[in-house]
Chains A and B, each alone.
Chain A
């Protein structure tokens, strides 16, 4: 079946502009995660959705970052007033559920460049 998809694959934006990044999880997966991978840095957890529960936003680096998940499926990560330090690869993952034994499956990522 289809894996996790993300769009766009690349995004170049000017400093100060808003951007939206999209993630389509694997069908039937109730858990969805966003991560950021900056050049030379490890993967950084941003936000986690599980079903209809309130998301865990504890990893969002500032209030310029927000995410939503509509209908328990597609998710959008929005970055307002982008800064150069926001340049990174943004990765989305999904899993069938939460808890012991559920693997996370990753999408190919969106490479964001803020000029």
Chain B
């Protein structure tokens, strides 16, 4: 059974700091891994999708990596800003497409 764990559960950093959010999964048989952000009371916004054959994806200040053999993905946020404050969710999409989400990391960036 696929399980997805995100560490840390919460993180508070000063503006400008670089930070890493971690996601681990137990079954390496996945199609995609997708990172989302969720603002309070809102739906999910897609940040990055990494296909199973890829090692990383980049968008602006965000970089996501995938290591299937070790069951890990990291989301790197460079030069954090107060507008980055949100909950970040990792989702693993296996064959069968029953997407499994982690519990999320709540990020607070202090101005």
By a beta-carbon cutoff of 8 Å, the part of chain A in contact with chain B is: 4, 31, 33, 35, 42-43, 45, 48, 50, 56, 58-59, 91, 93, 98-109
Q: Can you list 12 A-B contacts with CB-CB less than 8 angstroms, sorted by A residue number?
A: A35-B101, A45-B98, A45-B99, A45-B100, A48-B98, A58-B98, A91-B43, A101-B51, A103-B46, A105-B46, A107-B43, A109-B43
A100, B97: Cβ atoms under 8 Å? Answer: no
Which residues of B are at the interface with A, using a C-beta cutoff of 8 A? Answer: 31-32, 34, 36, 42-46, 49, 51-53, 89, 91, 93, 96-104
Could you say which of B49, B51, B101 contacts A43, with CB atoms under 8 Å apart?
A: B101
Cα separation A73 to B18 with both chains bound (whole Å): 42
* Shortest Cβ distance from residue A90 to the other chain B in the assembled complex, whole angstroms: 11
Set of chain B residues within 8 Å of A105, measured between Cβ atoms: 46
B96 to chain A minimum Cβ distance, whole angstroms, is 7
16 more A-B residue pairs beyond the given contacts A103-B32, A106-B44, A106-B45, with a C-beta to C-beta distance below 8 A: A4-B43, A42-B89, A43-B89, A45-B98, A45-B100, A48-B98, A56-B98, A59-B98, A93-B44, A98-B97, A99-B31, A102-B32, A103-B34, A103-B46, A103-B49, A108-B43
**Complex Cα gap A105–B6 (Å):** 21
- Given contacts A42-B104, A101-B51, whether A106 and B43 have CB atoms under 8 Å apart is yes
Q: Is the CB of B53 within 8 A of A108?
A: no
Q: How far, in whole Å, are A9 and B103 apart by their CA atoms in the complex?
A: 23
A91 touches B44 (CB 8 A): yes
